[in-house]
Structure 1
Amino acid sequence: MASSKNQDDIEAAPDPVVVELAKIPTPTTTTVTKGSDPFLVTFNQPYDEENPLDWPTGRKWMVTDVLSATGFNRIMVSTIMAPALSTIANELNMSSTESAMSLSIYLLATVFGPPLIGPLSEIYGRQVILHASNVWFLVWNIVCGFAPTKGTLIAARFLAGFGASAIYSLAGGVLGDVWRPEQRGSSLGVYLIIPLLGAAVGPIIGGFMAARTTWRWMFWATSAFQAVMIFVSFFSFHESYAPLILRRRAQRLREETGESRIHTQGEIIDGGRSTIAVIVRALTRPLRLLLFHPIIQISAVLSGFNYGILYVVLSTFSTLFTSQYGQSVEISGLHYIACSLGELAASQVGAPLMDYLYKRLPAHKQVPESRMPLMFPSILITWAGALMYGWTAAYQLHWITVDIGVFIMLFGMQLGGLPTTAYVIDTYGDHTSSAMAAQQFVKSLMAFLFPLFAPSMYSKLGYGWGNSVLALAGLVLAVPLPIFLWKYGARLRSKAASTY
């Protein structure tokens, strides 16, 4: 029970149930107030120990770190088998198309997972969805390691990717649950440290495993790590979804007092709908956001294009150094370090900068649109890096210049990705997971599709002109869309507030 210091806010009544209700915390919602509804259950102000936003800092970081480490493993598995594709194809009698499918189908699964998993976390909570997806991913990743046929491997990769995709919708939701807007940058910066390593470290580890042992150890080793993370998360990951915490509090009060009129704001919104109706409404939310919300459409296009280009780089980078620079598979994989360093540097520079700029604003200007200015320098940095990477590779200049170009390119992408993510978290509140799921649908689709045309594009245009085309397309998208959000975002948010 919360403290009774807010009893003055509750209307007096002879009914002893109302006396008990005096212990219910004061509201945070502006829709219904305690004065107008004494049966409304909300968090105590200014502090409530059950409110995730009021958790001790140590617990917040623990939850963030568990997500980060879980994200690292799931993202690493998406690319770890890239250097071993030819070996796997020979052993399982796969064509080149089938071997490429065994890699990319994992990403295809992440197209469909978040729109289902994200909304479920807004019904059943973050905790149960994280644990369930952890176990699901572990089971199918183990199957990948023991796959006797190409069909088994491809199917297991898809199912493992489906479970792994939970992190894409959960991460933004949980960070929004426990961190306040002025801490958005620092929390994103710390969360991203480990997952950003995953996509690039995967091919490095995979390259050495492919050269020195069976490719199956790629899946066995990552499964062992996943088993450890399941154990750790079971004891250290606390439920962070505020509406669920309040529903549990309301249920506890109804049982203790016998007063059936006790309710939460979420239960008011559900309006007495059946369980099936609530689930259907939640599961269709990502689709409705994607179809009818310009904020999601624009952020999805911006982040999706960059995500697609990232996987173009990840899927072709090793081949560049083996084919044009004559390096071994093991050594070519080390160049992915430049990719990781670019993203890591951007997260550690951009995150505190975003918080610094936000806190310097007067209170009335601390709105989601204030994130947008950080995107503009990222545009120039990203596509200047893409041109440097493309043309230094085209002229086969020293490999370090290629790595520097990729470093600059991915630094710019990540610098622009931070404010985009923060904007969505700030805007969609309790439904951040659904919003991130809608965004991730486009991102994963682009990550799946873009690498399919990358080899033929570079074969016909070369790395120089190929990257020039990508840079031109990037500029066409990246310049007007953030300006549009910066100028009209507040109006769009006000219109969209009650439509999801």
Structure 2
Amino acid sequence: MDTLRDAPLGQLVRQFWTPNSLRYPEEKAGFEIPAGLKPKPVNEDIEKGSDNDQQSEGHAEKAAPDGVILVDWYGADDPENPQNFSVGKRAWITFVLFWMTFAVYGVSSMYTPSEQGVMQAFGVGVPKAALGLALYVLGAGLGPMLFSPLSEVPALGRNIPYIIPTTLFLILSIPTAVVNNYSALMALRFLTGFVGSPAVGTGPASIQDIYPFHILPLGLTVWMIAAFTAPAFSPTLSAFAVMNEDWHWSLWVIVWITAPALVLMWLALPETSAPKILLRRAQRLRKLTGQKNFKSQSEIRQANLAVGSVLRDALLKPIEISCLDPAIMFAHLYIMYIYGTYYSFFEAFPIVYAGSYGFNLGEVGLSFIPIAVGTFIGAGIFVLYMGMYVKPVYMKKGPQPQEFNLIAGLYGSFALPVGLFIFAWTARASIHWIVPMIGNAIFAGGAFLIFIAVFLYLPMSYPQYAASLFAANDLFRSCFAAGAVIFAHPMFVNLGIGKGVSVLGGLGVGGVIGIWLLWCFGAALRARSRFALSQ
């Protein structure tokens, strides 16, 4: 019942229909306020809203001005603390986020089997047909720049920026599936990408909310499997529907996948933002006691800040960090390159597997499966690496510097260009089609290891801006991927698959150098950064 109570629908029921249903402990008869809730000494950093505050209010020293009673967790084992959620509750939240992330990421490439139909229906060429993929990816990159920072505002929490845009996503997906006007189709593709983006941009931050530090990488691995495999599986899901019906049917598949995920979000996705949970608790204690001096950490921190200042800090600080911190900037650029390369495959694979090997539309969709296979292999390697290397190091030496999280990516950086070069120079009719697919799988495994390494590195560098930094990363990679969808086809046609993919492989070799330099000198760069957290 707690999960239902804390989910968006449960909160609506409490707010507008039956306030006395789905009660919290503070609202039940016989509740006694813990003795530990008493005024705390003044802490100037807290009062000023210092940038050194941690994202999760359960991980920092708490203090309050004189006369204010700071509302905190009721103990180290408080069940409402997201870090204390049961294994089953964590698994459920991860499952819901996995499904929604799979749906939103999958929608991008689910459109690609329809491109031929779009060309025929509207009399447009390849670039204009591919624009449906590019605009969706662009919208999915721009959306988190609004929604993810809002999820860090305690008054909103994670769920409101999830549930409202995702509901709009499903609503807009219906006219997208029936529209018969090219301009309207492109506009709707952009809008669905934009409003569907919170699962993409904020998902990793929600995972960070609920998993303790020592198992966070495993939770993030599960989420990233959805993000990585969805674009690979989706063309397979939609290609056969398009073959047997028409181009509209790939867009109907989107509705069928998204609707159940949205129902689960409404019914059973609890709030995971610690500041939001404590803010609600403070409000309940004020109502219970009639005393206005019960306040949460976020209320104390933001007491003297205007709403505009809070939003400006949430929206602009991550952009400032991304542009002025060289370590963060390189992380964004490297992920941007990998993501763009991944999406260039949606233009390369039809040329290779339909043009050179004679695959039909459904078989071209199946040619993306090796990317999913490579992702699972990369995830398996990472789990073994965590258990056999990382865990013993932490048990013996304790927490390590952030650069320690890059080690998996160091080795993945070698696999990535190797896979690209194999694909580039074996994708020809004289060589069996399984060989270039092996190259695709090697690329995917290496790319996954790099992604998981960087996605662990970013939030641990600036925890209080985790969701916003993920959003900035999403913006970088999505903008480049949208461009890659447009320039990839003419590049591969003019240069050929061998030379065109080799250009991308050459950039991957440069990435090897960059990530090793980041591993060697990242600590020094962070020490010199004016945004660095005090240790």
> Does the 8 Å CA contact 1:394/1:464 hold for their aligned counterparts?
no
Distance in 2 of aligned mates of 1:231 and 1:70: 11
Matched with 1:458 is: 492
Shift of 1:415: 1.3
Shift of 1:449: 1.2
> Does the 8 Å CA contact 1:302/1:478 hold for their aligned counterparts?
no
Matched with 1:298 is: 330
Matched with 1:64 is: 94
Confirm whether residue 104 of structure 1 aligns to residue 134 of structure 2.
yes
Shift of 1:4: 8.2
Amino acid at match of 1:411: G
CA distance change for structure 1 residues 451 and 128 in 2, over 3 Å: closer, same or farther?
same
Name the SS of the counterpart of 1:214 in structure 2: coil
CA distance change for structure 1 residues 484 and 193 in 2, over 3 Å: closer, same or farther?
closer
Matched with 1:19 is: none
Matched with 2:248 is: 216
> Does the 8 Å CA contact 2:64/2:300 hold for their aligned counterparts?
no
Name the SS of the counterpart of 1:122 in structure 2: coil
Confirm whether residue 329 of structure 1 aligns to residue 364 of structure 2.
no
Matched with 1:369 is: 403
TM-score (norm 1): 0.90
Name the SS of the counterpart of 2:151 in structure 1: helix
Amino acid at match of 1:370: F
> Does the 8 Å CA contact 1:289/1:438 hold for their aligned counterparts?
no
Matched with 1:43 is: 73
Matched with 1:496 is: 531
Query: Is 447-456 or 346-355 further displaced after alignment?
Result: 346-355
Amino acid at match of 1:366: Q
Shift of 1:356: 4.5
Distance in 1 of aligned mates of 2:486 and 2:430: 24
Distance in 2 of aligned mates of 1:84 and 1:491: 46
Amino acid at match of 1:89: M
Name the SS of the counterpart of 1:116 in structure 2: helix
Shift of 1:191: 2.2
Distance in 1 of aligned mates of 2:39 and 2:121: 75
Amino acid at match of 2:436: V
Name the SS of the counterpart of 1:181 in structure 2: coil
Q: 1:468 aligns with which of 481, 499, 502?
A: 502
How big is each residue's C-alpha offset from its partner over 1:57-101, in whole Å with a ceiling of 9 and x where there is no partner?
111111111010011111111011212212122123334332121
Structure with more of its chain in helix, by fraction: 1
Paired residues in the alignment total 486
How big is each residue's C-alpha offset from its partner over 1:387-414, in whole Å with a ceiling of 9 and x where there is no partner?
1111111574110111111111111111
Distance in 2 of aligned mates of 1:30 and 1:411: 37
TM-score (norm 2): 0.84
Matched with 1:442 is: 476
CA distance change for structure 1 residues 61 and 12 in 2, over 3 Å: closer, same or farther?
closer
> Does the 8 Å CA contact 2:70/2:295 hold for their aligned counterparts?
yes
Amino acid at match of 2:469: A
CA distance change for structure 1 residues 461 and 224 in 2, over 3 Å: closer, same or farther?
closer
Matched with 1:316 is: 348
Shift of 1:225: 2.5
Amino acid at match of 2:389: L
CA distance change for structure 1 residues 479 and 36 in 2, over 3 Å: closer, same or farther?
farther
Name the SS of the counterpart of 2:143 in structure 1: helix
Distance in 1 of aligned mates of 2:253 and 2:514: 45
Distance in 2 of aligned mates of 1:151 and 1:12: 60
Amino acid at match of 1:282: A
Distance in 1 of aligned mates of 2:168 and 2:36: 49
Shift of 1:12: 11
Name the SS of the counterpart of 1:321 in structure 2: helix
> Does the 8 Å CA contact 2:410/2:515 hold for their aligned counterparts?
no
CA distance change for structure 1 residues 62 and 376 in 2, over 3 Å: closer, same or farther?
same
Q: 2:450 aligns with which of 398, 407, 416?
A: 416
Distance in 2 of aligned mates of 1:89 and 1:463: 23
Which ranges of structure 1 fall in alignment gaps of 5 or more residues? 14-26
> Does the 8 Å CA contact 1:424/1:432 hold for their aligned counterparts?
yes
Shift of 1:237: 0.4
Confirm whether residue 254 of structure 1 aligns to residue 286 of structure 2.
yes
CA distance change for structure 1 residues 75 and 270 in 2, over 3 Å: closer, same or farther?
same
Amino acid at match of 2:195: G
Name the SS of the counterpart of 1:40 in structure 2: strand
How big is each residue's C-alpha offset from its partner over 1:107-164, in whole Å with a ceiling of 9 and x where there is no partner?
1112211110101111211112221122111111111111121011111111001012
> Does the 8 Å CA contact 2:40/2:68 hold for their aligned counterparts?
no
> Does the 8 Å CA contact 2:81/2:274 hold for their aligned counterparts?
yes
CA distance change for structure 1 residues 344 and 458 in 2, over 3 Å: closer, same or farther?
same
Amino acid at match of 2:117: T
Distance in 1 of aligned mates of 2:229 and 2:222: 12
CA distance change for structure 1 residues 40 and 478 in 2, over 3 Å: closer, same or farther?
farther
Query: Is 453-462 or 129-138 further displaced after alignment?
Result: 453-462
Confirm whether residue 143 of structure 1 aligns to residue 178 of structure 2.
no
Name the SS of the counterpart of 2:487 in structure 1: helix
> Does the 8 Å CA contact 1:28/1:45 hold for their aligned counterparts?
no
Amino acid at match of 1:360: P
> Does the 8 Å CA contact 2:229/2:372 hold for their aligned counterparts?
yes
Query: Is 210-219 or 477-486 further displaced after alignment?
Result: 477-486
Distance in 2 of aligned mates of 1:243 and 1:367: 26
How big is each residue's C-alpha offset from its partner over 1:313-345, in whole Å with a ceiling of 9 and x where there is no partner?
233212211111222222222111111111122
> Does the 8 Å CA contact 1:113/1:162 hold for their aligned counterparts?
yes
Q: 1:389 aligns with which of 417, 423, 447?
A: 423
Matched with 1:276 is: 308
CA distance change for structure 1 residues 89 and 158 in 2, over 3 Å: closer, same or farther?
same
Distance in 2 of aligned mates of 1:490 and 1:182: 25
Amino acid at match of 2:100: T
